């Protein structure tokens, strides 16, 4: 899931020459580039900020569920 978001954001940077790459090429650095935020708009920017946290929550809950299944 997170990989898809990373691919999409990376694709946007490759397609739009007005966006400059940040010092790091990770998702957090890419979405916090001021020109990306301005180009994408506040709605898209806020969703790209929240999505990785949701992915982490899903992974943690799946891991917890697997641990519980193994115990019983």
Nearest CA to 23 among 33, 10, 13, 36?
A: 33
Domain edges within the chain = 2-71
Digits of tens for pLDDT over the chain (72 positions)? 677 778 888 888 889 989 888 888 888 888 888 888 888 888 888 777 776 666 666 667 766 666 655 655
Interatomic CA distance for residues 47 and 33, integer angstroms: 15
Interatomic CA distance for residues 66 and 5, integer angstroms: 25
Tokens representing 10 are 């990376």
Interatomic CA distance for residues 40 and 37, integer angstroms: 5
């Amino acid at each position: 899931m997170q990989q898809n978001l990373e691919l999409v954001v990376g694709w946007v940077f490759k397609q739009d020459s007005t966006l400059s790459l940040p010092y790091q090429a990770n998702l957090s650095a890419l979405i916090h580039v001021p020109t990306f935020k301005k180009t994408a708009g506040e709605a898209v920017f806020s969703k790209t900020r929240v999505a990785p946290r949701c992915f982490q929550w899903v992974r943690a809950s799946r891991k917890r569920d697997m641990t519980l299944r193994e115990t019983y």
